[in-house]
């Protein structure tokens, strides 16, 4: 219980940091903190594989991508007045109500099984155990999500495809400025005009 | 329970002290060896054979002035070196250094996880935050470039690294590092059957540790010192520490996964092969020497070529190895592992033969994505 | 052993924080971070339920969600970068050119 309380406090602190920091970097770093505490929580919930995947994929890849984009765009703080100033108090009030309602519902939950026996059935959530479920009962979603990943990869490439006419804004902030200086082929750009 | 925790802590402290001592003397050995490679003498003034040089270096870096740039983001500027060193040190804990119960009746590892390999990959992937945040928080241009470069590089080569170990995991059927070592003791070391994976894994390890020929994040000719530019004193030393500890961990992982880990060669008999520590240490030393050797030999890659190499060569080759191993497991179950051995030898020979042709290095402007270079 | 209810309550709190953030933040990237937070809250609930039932199905579902999040981030950040190329801002109040 002590471990849970410590982790829960850290996770909530990270979450509040995520939504309240003005700077994108600090926001993202707070979220990384929350993700890491959640990974530790997965360990206490006997989901070892998910814990390591959470660290590797979420904290190690996805959040680095976020930070990368935040630094690349290097945007200054939001300027101008908030056009919808009343949203903030309403949202906070709504959020508190939502959290209270969901938490109240959560405590209606009756444990369907004895917790000890149920935990033992998880086999610690090792890669072997998860893999067995994933490749039998979850085979169709697994294949579907692999196709989805492929589509996402193609989509991402086509979205950020180098279009010579429009990328001045990026040139100044990204490394292209330095790279172009010595990559001779770039200057003789084989007119990749958008069709 | 309490004694277990105390023992684990004791072992962890031992590992940390060992790693830091190795780091200190690695700097000396590296400088001496590089000097040898370049027909110079190297540091040999402080103490006999220059053996006290690391001590002198340590005193110097502790007492240097600790500068913080005005434009720097103070908190993250402080945090970054600590993230780097913490992640570097914690990864090593999962490496087994001997058979169970061989360290005065205790197990010679800090923790033995069922997901040991994943743990190491996860902690090393967290290490990128140190470099990345250092680059950003310095508040000046060259460190930022260094940080961006390194994060893009490490994410790209992580894929090659992850894919390389997949084939190996299919054969051994476990992610537990002790299990992998025992499998190798039974069937033969994996470098024989997973030669292609071995090559791709070693290359991506070089990239992951930011060593030459992939040390773009700190390319001094272009970026001053990359993410290290604004760092001085003890924080700079922490980054150096992290880099060398990462190198030691990478050597240990390569030895464990592909070269039989803590077990010695079987023909020397079971008792000699089971002596803890020395076999692993010998293999780590060999790999550290190779790291230095490569640094003395190869020139640095250009950044776009580094990304091209990672995505267009390393990634497909590692994927092909995975598919080949999967095909072997599916269509030739129970047959000799040497089919895989012959296959990998042929592919490695083909890679060496075709490494002369430069077609894959041509800069293809159309495929340069924003995050890609 | 901590009862499942506490984990679910924590997931609910994290989800609500994410929802509030999504409504109040004005930078597209920070809104995106809040979506990730909400996804993670859902993941935590699934893992907790997985332990309650002693069934790995929910953990497998979390694995699928992780993959999905990776795909979503790749596309989402791609879109943000593409928009930024045209108009150098991520403020969603400014990016309203599709409004009828």
pLDDT at C43: 92
- Dihedral through CA B40, CA B45, CA B49, CA B55, nearest 10? -120
Cis peptide before B213 (omega within 30 of 0): yes
- Please name the residues between 56 and 95 in chain A that touch chain C, using a CB distance below 8 Å: 57-58, 61-62, 65-66, 69-70, 72-73, 75, 78-80, 82-84, 87-88, 91-92, 94-95
Nearest by CB to B151, from A49, A64, A186: name it.
A64
Q: Which residues of A touch B168 (CB under 8 A)?
A: none
pLDDT at C76 over 50: yes
Three-class SS string for B218-233?
Answer: HCHHHHCCHHHCCCCH
- To the nearest whole Å, the CA of A156 is away from the closest chain B CA by 9
B7 backbone dihedrals φ, ψ, rounded to 5°: -60, -45
Q: Please, are residues C44 and C7 in contact by the beta-carbon 8 Å criterion?
A: yes
- Give the least confident one: B46-60, B107-121, B211-225: B211-225
pLDDT at A146 over 60: yes
CATH of the domain at C8: 1.10.287.3510
ipTM score: 0.87
Q: Please, are residues B197 and B165 in contact by the beta-carbon 8 Å criterion?
A: yes
Beta-carbon-side half-sphere exposure of residue A108 (alpha carbons within 13 Å): 6
pLDDT at A37 over 90: yes
Instruction: Say whether A52 and B158 touch across the interface (CB within 8 A).
Output: no
- To the nearest whole Å, the CA of B202 is away from the closest chain A CA by 20
pLDDT at B197 over 80: yes
Closest CA in chain B for residue A74: B136
**Measured between alpha carbons, how far is B53 from C98 in angstroms, rounded to an integer?**
66
Instruction: Say whether A178 and B365 touch across the interface (CB within 8 A).
Output: no
Is residue A111 within 8 angstroms of chain C, CB to CB?
Answer: yes
Q: Is C92 exposed, middle or buried (0-12, 13-18, 19+ CB in 10 A)?
A: middle
Q: Give the contacts of B28 (CB within 8 A, at least 6 positions apart).
A: B43, B50, B51, B53, B54
**Measured between alpha carbons, how far is C24 from A82 in angstroms, rounded to an integer?**
10
Q: What is the mean pLDDT of residues C8-15?
A: 90
pLDDT at B148 over 90: no
Residue C96 in domain:
no
Residue C100 in domain:
no
Structural domain that includes position C65? 4-86
Average pLDDT, chain B: 82
Q: What is the mean pLDDT of residues B256-280?
A: 80
Residues of A with CB under 8 A from a CB of B: 25, 29, 32, 48-49, 52-53, 55-56, 59-61, 64-65, 67-69, 71-72, 124, 126-127, 156-157, 160-162, 170, 174-176, 178-179, 182-183, 185-186, 189-190, 192
Alpha-carbon distances, residue B154 vs A7, B355, C72 (angstroms): 29, 23, 21
Neighbouring subunits of A (3+ Cβ pairs under 8 A): B, C
Query: What crossing angle do the helices spanning B2-37 and B53-63 adopt, rounded to 10°?
Result: 110
Q: Which CATH class is domain A1-74?
A: mainly alpha
Domain boundaries, chain B: 60-367
Alpha helices (H) in chain A, listed in sequence order: 2-20, 24-44, 48-53, 63-73, 87-106, 115-121, 127-134, 139-159, 168-173, 176-182, 184-187
Is residue A116 within 8 angstroms of chain C, CB to CB?
Answer: yes
Average pLDDT, chain C: 85
Interface test with A, best of C30, C41, C89 (most A CBs within 10 A): C30
Q: What is the CA radius of gyration of chain A?
A: 23
pLDDT at A112 over 70: yes
Instruction: Say whether A189 and B158 touch across the interface (CB within 8 A).
Output: no
- Give the least confident one: A160-174, B258-272, B289-303, B332-346: A160-174
pLDDT at B145: 82
**Measured between alpha carbons, how far is A11 from A17 in angstroms, rounded to an integer?**
10
Q: What is the mean pLDDT of residues B293-303?
A: 84
pLDDT at B134: 86
Alpha-carbon distances, residue B328 vs A58, A127, B26, B346 (angstroms): 32, 21, 41, 16
Alpha helices (H) in chain B, listed in sequence order: 2-37, 53-63, 74-92, 116-137, 141-172, 177-187, 190-193, 195-208, 220-223, 233-258, 270-273, 278-297, 303-308, 315-331, 338-354
pLDDT at A161 over 80: no
Neighbouring subunits of C (3+ Cβ pairs under 8 A): A
- Give the least confident one: A170-174, B158-162, B342-346: A170-174
pLDDT at B295 over 60: yes
Q: Which residues of A touch C72 (CB under 8 A)?
A: 152
Q: Please, are residues B332 and B347 in contact by the beta-carbon 8 Å criterion?
A: no
- Write out pLDDT tens, residues B81-103: 888 888 888 888 888 887 777 77
Positive or negative, the CA dihedral A173, B84, B154, B209 is positive
Instruction: Say whether C37 and A34 touch across the interface (CB within 8 A).
Output: yes
Closest CA in chain B for residue A131: B173
Residue C59 in domain:
yes
% of residues, chain B, pLDDT over 90: 2
Closest CA in chain A for residue C67: A145
* Maximum C-alpha span of chain C: 55
- To the nearest whole Å, the CA of A171 is away from the closest chain C CA by 10
Residue C97 in domain:
no
Q: What is the mean pLDDT of residues A101-115?
A: 82
| Tally of domains within chain C | 1
Interface test with A, best of C56, C70, C91 (most A CBs within 10 A): C56
Question: Does residue B103 sit in helix, strand or coil?
Answer: strand
Q: Please, are residues B233 and B61 in contact by the beta-carbon 8 Å criterion?
A: yes
pLDDT at B220 over 80: no
The residue that leads in pLDDT, B360 or B345, is B345
Give the pLDDT band (50/70/90) at residue A47.
Answer: confident
Q: Which residues of B touch A150 (CB under 8 A)?
A: none
Query: What crossing angle do the helices spanning C4-24 and A2-20 adopt, rounded to 10°?
Result: 10
Q: Which residues of C touch A163 (CB under 8 A)?
A: 85
The residue that leads in pLDDT, B287 or A79, is B287
* Maximum C-alpha span of chain A: 70
**Measured between alpha carbons, how far is A18 from A11 in angstroms, rounded to an integer?**
10
Q: What is the mean pLDDT of residues B260-276?
A: 77
The residue that leads in pLDDT, B126 or B359, is B126
Q: Which residues of B touch A158 (CB under 8 A)?
A: none
Beta-carbon-side half-sphere exposure of residue B9 (alpha carbons within 13 Å): 6
pLDDT at A165: 53
Q: Give the contacts of C78 (CB within 8 A, at least 6 positions apart).
A: A155, A156, A159, A160
**Measured between alpha carbons, how far is A129 from A152 in angstroms, rounded to an integer?**
28
- Give the least confident one: A78-92, B207-221, B272-286, B353-367: B353-367
Among the listed residues A118, A115, A122, A112, the one whose alpha carbon sits nearest the alpha carbon of residue A43: A122
Query: What crossing angle do the helices spanning C4-24 and C28-53 adopt, rounded to 10°?
Result: 170
Question: Does residue C91 sit in helix, strand or coil?
Answer: strand
**Measured between alpha carbons, how far is B20 from B308 in angstroms, rounded to an integer?**
35
Q: Please, are residues B143 and B134 in contact by the beta-carbon 8 Å criterion?
A: yes
pLDDT at A171 over 60: no
- Single pTM value for the model: 0.83
């Amino acid at each position: 219980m002590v471990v849970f309380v410590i982790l829960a406090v850290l996770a909530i602190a990270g979450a509040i940091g995520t939504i309240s920091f003005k700077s994108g970097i600090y926001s993202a770093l707070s979220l990384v903190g929350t993700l890491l505490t959640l990974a530790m929580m997965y360990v206490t919930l006997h989901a070892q594989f998910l814990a390591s995947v959470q660290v590797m994929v979420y904290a190690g890849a996805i959040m680095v991508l976020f930070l990368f984009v935040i630094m690349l765009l290097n945007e200054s703080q939001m300027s101008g007045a908030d056009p919808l100033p009343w949203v903030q108090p309403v949202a906070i009030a709504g959020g508190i109500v939502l959290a209270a309602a969901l938490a109240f519902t959560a405590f209606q939950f009756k444990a369907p099984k004895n917790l000890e026996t149920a935990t033992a059935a998880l086999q610690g959530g090792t890669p072997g155990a998860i893999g067995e479920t994933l490749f039998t009962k979850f085979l169709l979603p697994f294949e579907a999500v692999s196709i989805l990943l492929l589509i996402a990869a193609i989509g991402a490439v086509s979205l950020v495809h180098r279009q010579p006419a429009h990328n001045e804004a990026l040139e100044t902030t990204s490394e292209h400025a330095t790279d172009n200086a010595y990559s001779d082929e770039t200057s003789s750009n084989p007119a990749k005009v958008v069709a | 329970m309490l004694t277990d925790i105390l023992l684990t802590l004791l072992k962890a402290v031992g590992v940390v002290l060992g790693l830091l001592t190795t780091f200190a003397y690695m700097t000396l050995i590296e400088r001496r060896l590089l000097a040898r490679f370049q027909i110079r003498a190297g540091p040999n003034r402080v103490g006999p054979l220059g053996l006290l040089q690391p001590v002198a270096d340590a005193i110097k870096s502790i007492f240097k002035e600790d500068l913080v740039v005005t434009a720097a983001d103070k908190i993250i500027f402080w945090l970054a070196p600590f993230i780097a060193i913490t992640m570097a040190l914690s990864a090593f804990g999962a490496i087994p250094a001997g058979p169970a119960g061989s360290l005065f009746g205790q197990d010679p590892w800090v923790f033995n996880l069922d997901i040991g390999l994943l743990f190491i990959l996860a902690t090393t992937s967290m290490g990128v935050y140190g470099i990345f945040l250092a680059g950003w928080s310095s508040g000046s241009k060259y460190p930022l470039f260094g940080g961006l470069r390194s994060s893009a590089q490490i994410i790209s080569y992580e894929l090659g690294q992850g894919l390389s170990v997949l084939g190996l995991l299919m054969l051994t059927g476990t992610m537990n590092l002790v299990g992998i070592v025992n499998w190798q003791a039974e069937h033969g070391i994996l470098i024989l059957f997973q030669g292609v994976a071995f090559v791709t894994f070693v290359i991506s390890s070089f990239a992951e540790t930011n060593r030459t020929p992939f040390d773009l994040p700190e390319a001094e000719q272009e970026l001053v010192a990359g993410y290290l530019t604004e760092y001085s004193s003890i924080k700079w030393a922490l980054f150096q520490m992290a880099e060398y500890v990462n190198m030691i961990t990478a050597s240990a992982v390569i030895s464990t996964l592909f070269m039989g880990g803590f077990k010695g060669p079987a023909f020397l008999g079971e008792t000699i092969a089971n002596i803890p520590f020395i076999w692993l240490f010998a293999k780590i030393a060999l790999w550290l020497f190779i790291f230095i050797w490569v640094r003395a030999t190869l020139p640095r890659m250009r950044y776009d070529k580094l990304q091209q190499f990672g995505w267009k060569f390393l990634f497909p080759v590692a994927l092909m190895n995975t598919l080949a191993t999967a095909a072997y497991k599916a269509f030739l179950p129970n047959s000799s592992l040497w089919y895989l051995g012959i296959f990998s030898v042929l592919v490695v020979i083909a890679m060496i033969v075709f490494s002369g042709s430069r077609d894959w290095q041509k800069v293809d402007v159309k495929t340069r994505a924003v995050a890609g270079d | 052993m901590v009862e499942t209810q506490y984990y679910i309550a924590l997931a609910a709190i994290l989800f609500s924080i994410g929802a509030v953030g999504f409504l109040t933040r004005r930078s597209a990237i920070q809104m995106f971070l809040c979506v990730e937070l909400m996804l993670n809250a859902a993941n935590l609930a699934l893992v907790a339920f997985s332990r309650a039932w002693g069934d790995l199905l929910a953990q497998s579902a979390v694995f699928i969600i992780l993959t999905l999040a990776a795909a979503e981030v790749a596309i989402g950040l791609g879109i943000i970068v593409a928009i930024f190329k045209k108009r150098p801002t991520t403020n969603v109040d400014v990016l309203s050119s599709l409004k009828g």
